[in-house]
Structure 1
Amino acid sequence: MRIKFISLLFLSAASLGAASLSEAYTMALENNSELKQSLYEAQAASERTSSATAYLLPSISLDANYVMEKYRRRGATNRTDESYLKYGINLNQSLLRVPAWYERSLAKVREESSNLQYQNTKQELAKKVAQAYFAYAYDKQSLSVAKSYEQASKARYERMQKSLDMGLANKMDTLESKVRLDEASLEVARAKRRIELSRLSLARLVGQEIDVANFSELDVDFFRRESLDKFENVEANFDYKQAKLGREYYEKDYSKRVSEYLPSVDFSIGYFNHNYRDDRYFPDELNKVEGMVKFTLPLYSGGGTKARVEEGRLMRLASAEKEADARREIAIKQRQAMSDYLGYISEYDIAKSSLEHSLVYEHSIERGYEEGLKNLVDLLDAKARVFKTQNDALAAAHKLILSYIELYSDIGEISEDVMARLSGALR
């Protein structure tokens, strides 16, 4: 009975040229534009961090400027020309600019957030590919089951039509078998539509149309053996990580705004030549060294700094609330996902048992019909029940697989190894 159940649940095939789940994911990594966009954004964030770091380091420049300065001295008849050309090399260094240090820290947080977003994009892609892959496989199996039911209904109708022509069956039973055939044909048409949509959805993700492997058996013990303790981990969830980084960002941003009240100190030194136009009164100044230390203490900015500090304080409070809310929501979501997972295992067991019983029932009705103890409606109802329980078993298996993927998605650990192990449970 188990062999018959398995063959009805997943109609096995050689699946020549079919891509594995890992292969489909590899193709998606190479073709997905959203992932490439996320990678470029992460690389750009790294460059912004380098830019913020460079602001803290010395800068060296080659300077040249022409200063025109002409005037008439009191009592003089001729205008004095003090214009000159100044050129040389200059070094500038910030000695104390606390906001700049905080800006670098903020850039580091933004870079970490972009890298995290890139990793999450990969996780979301893996999740979407896995869901689309198994949706396609599920729809293929559903179509096979629907075609099998349609063929059985067609054979039954043709037998009834011949019996009617020979006067061995009544017209009502023949019409009943025709109605069941039409229902089966309608289900095949619907299954074909679903499989076309799922095929295109998978192709959109991987960049080309591919076939997927068929599975002959679902190892439910594989799912039972999975330890659920690791899935109750809020810290590993992407949304929580982002909320945590958000709080860290606004903590640093608030400190940066407060530091705008502090003084700044800048240092510069240069090596210059001054070439004057009027060498009679102003001899050239060559190899001149100029240095400066600049101290700046903000005293009043029209209330702008105060407003910015208050804004930063409020944003810091908001980010703390957001992190706390994310922790609560994700903890509930993870527990719900584990509960669903266990429920789908039970649902699959029930569906499998129901299918086995419906097959026994169908066999009994067939014998009763052959012996004249059951009518045609009873037989058709029994076959329809088998078809329904076949679909229920397929749907239960599909939901269990998706639930397994969702568990790993919630802790950000969908990997090729997880995909390979999952595929190994579906032989």
Structure 2
Amino acid sequence: MSRYLFLLLVCSISVFADSVLTLEKAYELALMNHPGYRVEKFKTQAVEENVRQTQSRLLPKVDISASGGKYEYETYYNGTETSEVYKTYSLSLIQPLYRPELWRAVDQMQTRYDTSTTELEKQAQQVGVDVIKTYMQMLQAQANMDKLQFQKEFYDTKFRKSSEMIAMGLSNSVELIEAKVNKEKALIDLFAKKREYWTLQNKLERLCKAKFDSIVPLKSDKGFSMSKEEWMSRLHENKDVRIARLSKKAAEDEVAIRRYDHYPKADLSLGRSQNYTNDPVAHKYDNKAFIQLSFPIYQGGYTSSRVQEAILLLNAAESNEELAQLQIQDKFEELWTQRESLYESIEVLKQALDSSKLFLQSVQSGYEKGIKNQLDIMEAKLKMKSVESELNISHHDMMVNEVGLLDLTGQLMIQNI
């Protein structure tokens, strides 16, 4: 019996784990299943292969070849016609000795790999922003639904009381109609908010590619203590700024690589060939060892034009870095202004919540003394729930603002959630 109970408990926990979704789990599932993240991941892996390819150009190149077949010829020195099966084998090795453009190309490709890695991190952050915003909007919708559900109950009770009072002549048809309109509007508002919640739930399920019944609420009283100066000191870690900075570095490498086309080049070439022939004057084998030098002299201005093109692209990359920094600064100021406004709203709503609680206590006290009725208590509770809902929504807006700042400073990672 205890064994069966244990299995039942395990199954219950598994079902609960599948039906309730946490924010961290949502982010992890989205990263595993988001096609945009997979695209950047495959691109990064491809660039990593390009790094290996570029590095391989600095290593020796070894080739072996063989040929054979029917060979007929007539020599001048003896006038004899010869028909034979001719075979030859050759082995060659070429080692770059002085190729500065190859060394610089390795640095450039490593920079491009760092850029691709940063693009992958940026895509991961974007997935995180989408998931977290949707998650927060669902929590806000839940807070609104709680308020609207109580509002519906309040107007249902008010309509029922008005119906009873009109039968006793203590009310009139106008008050009854008003109560009916309020009741129906409360029901419409509740249905609209539920549809909004279901839409958000479907969106989160598409992002995570997982079904769930509910999400885990977050603590809405989190403190946000980091100062503006501390946030600003981290703006240089922004992914767009880092990508622009790496792009400028790659452009600098490209200028150097193209300038190296004016430089001489040196390669070591080693080779051996073995010939099998009846020709008495042909070489039986050849061993070669050469230092091959090449000096560019004139190419019609092609190399100079390519260098100038690279310089112009470098100027564009420098301007792009400056533009990225300017845009990030503007975005930060926008987020910080929103943050200060939310701070003020939260403080006011906290005071309003305290006042609404005091008001509810006074109404309850009046009810005990026979001065107030049940509707008065429900109306006071509705006011308190409305303030609570607005306060929760503001707290979640502050969390979204925090996510925006983490994204802006390149720190939006699972461990920071």
With normalisation by structure 1, the TM-score equals 0.82
Query: What letter is aligned with 2:215?
Result: V
Partner of 1:230: 230
Deviations 1:19-46 (A, max 9, x none): 3222222222333333233222222211
Q: Return 5+ residue gaps in structure 2 as ranges.
A: 1-15
- Letter in structure 1 aligned against 2:281: F
Q: Does the alignment pair 1:271 with 2:272?
A: yes
What displacement does 1:48 show?
0.7
1:311 has 2:313 as partner = no
Do the aligned partners of 1:348 and 1:400 also contact (CA within 8 Å) in 2?
no
Tell me which residue corresponds to 2:172: 170
User: Residues of 2 paired with 1:95 and 1:142: CA distance?
Assistant: 72
CA distance in 1, matches of 2:237, 2:215: 31
Equivalent residue, structure 2, for 1:204 = 206
| Partners of 1:393 and 1:312 in 2: CA distance | 55
Task: Give me the whole-angstrom Cα distance separating, in 2, the residues matched to 1:317 and 1:52.
Answer: 25
**Residue deviations 1:353-400 (CA, integer Å, cap 9, x gap):** 3344456667879969x99999x9x99998886675455333322211
Decide whether the 8 Å contact of 2:148 with 2:190 is kept in 1. yes
Residues of 1 paired with 2:93 and 2:107: CA distance? 25
User: Which secondary structure does the structure 2 equivalent of 1:301 belong to?
Assistant: coil
The AA in structure 1 aligned to 2:289 is G
Identity of aligned residues (%): 20
Given residue 164 of structure 1, which amino acid in structure 2 is its aligned partner? I
Letter in 1 for 2:105: E
For the residue of structure 1 that corresponds to 2:90, the secondary structure is strand
CA contact (8 A) 2:220 2:396 kept: no
- Evaluate the alpha carbon distance shift between residue 409 and residue 361 of structure 1 in structure 2; reply closer, same or farther with a 3 A threshold: same
Query: 1:226 deviation in Å?
Result: 3.4
Aligned counterpart in structure 2 of residue 296 of structure 1, from 294, 297, 305: 294
The residue type equivalent to 1:414 in the other structure is L
Residue 260 of structure 2 corresponds to 259
- For 1:241-299, what per-residue CA distance to the aligned partner results, in whole angstroms no more than 9, with x for missing partners? 011001101011111111111121222111220122xx15335504x312232222222
Contact 2:115 2:243 in 1 (8 A): yes
Aligned equivalent of 2:284:
285
Question: Which whole-Å CA distance do the structure 2 matches of 1:106 and 1:195 have between them?
Answer: 49
8 Å CA contact 2:143–2:389 kept in 1: the answer is no
In 2: Cα distance, 1:351 partner to 1:254 partner: 59
How far apart, CA to CA, are the structure 2 residues paired with 1:282 and 1:46?
A: 52
Counterpart CA distance in 2 for 1:151 and 1:283 is 108
Tell me the amino acid that sits aligned with residue 200 of structure 1. Answer: N
Q: 2:296 is paired with a residue of what secondary structure?
A: coil
Query: Superposed, which structure 2 residues align to 1:319-330 within 5 Å?
Result: 319-330=317-328
Q: CA deviation at 1:80?
A: 7.6
1:77 Cα deviation from its structure 2 partner: 5.8
SS at match of 2:58: coil
- 1:30 paired residue among 29, 32, 50: 32
Any gaps of 5 or more consecutive residues in structure 1? Answer: 1-14, 420-427
Asked if 1:213 is matched to 2:216, the reply is yes
Deviation at 1:79, TM superposition (A): 6.0
Contact conserved, 2:150 with 2:382, CA < 8 A, in 1?
no
| Secondary structure in structure 1 of the residue aligned to 2:20 | coil
1:187 Cα shift? 0.9
Q: Provide the rounded CA distance (Å) in 2 between the counterparts of 1:294 and 1:350.
A: 81
Structure 1 pair 67–320 and aligned structure 2 pair: CA distance change class (3 A)? farther
Name the CA shift for 1:66/1:308 in 2 (closer, same or farther; >3 Å). Answer: farther
What secondary structure sits across from 1:30 in the alignment?
helix
Tell me the CA shift for residue 326 of structure 1: 1.6
For 2:295 and 2:73, locate their aligned partners in 1 and report how far apart those are by CA, in whole Å: 36
Classify the secondary structure of the residue corresponding to 2:288: strand
Report which stretch shifted further, 20-29 or 106-115.
20-29
**1:142 equivalent in alignment to 2:144:** yes
Q: How many residues align?
A: 396
What SS does structure 2 have at the residue aligned with 1:43? Answer: helix
**What is the CA–CA distance in structure 2 between the aligned matches of 1:267 and 1:292, rounded to whole Å?**
6
**Counterpart secondary structure, 1:270:** strand
Native 8 Å contact 1:199 1:209 kept in 2? no
1:55 maps to 57
Counterpart for residue 194 of structure 2? 192
Q: CA RMSD in A?
A: 3.4
Call closer, same or farther: CA 1:399–1:145 in 2, change over 3 Å: same
**CA apart distance, 1:49:** 0.5
Give CA deviations for 1:23-79 in whole Å, capped at 9, x if unaligned: 222222333333233222222211110110000110112122469997777798666
Change (3 A) 1:359 1:291: same
The one-character-per-residue Cα deviations of 1:382-426 (angstroms, maximum 9, x if unpaired) are 88866754553333222111111111111111233422xxxxxxx
Q: CA deviation at 1:309?
A: 1.1
How many Å apart are 1:122 and its aligned residue?
2.1
TM-score (norm 2): 0.83
User: Are the counterparts in 1 of residues 74 and 81 from structure 2 also a CA contact under 8 Å?
Assistant: yes
- Does residue 42 (structure 1) correspond to residue 41 (structure 2)? The answer is no
Q: 8 Å contact 1:275–1:284 — kept in the other structure?
A: no
Whether the aligned pair in 1 keeps the contact of 2:147 and 2:386 (CA below 8 Å) is no
User: Relative to 1, partners in 2 of residues 1:339 and 1:281: Cα closer, same or farther, differing over 3 Å?
Assistant: same
Equivalent position of 2:158 in the other structure: 156
Q: Is the 8 A contact 2:263 2:296 kept in 1?
A: yes
Partner of 1:424: none
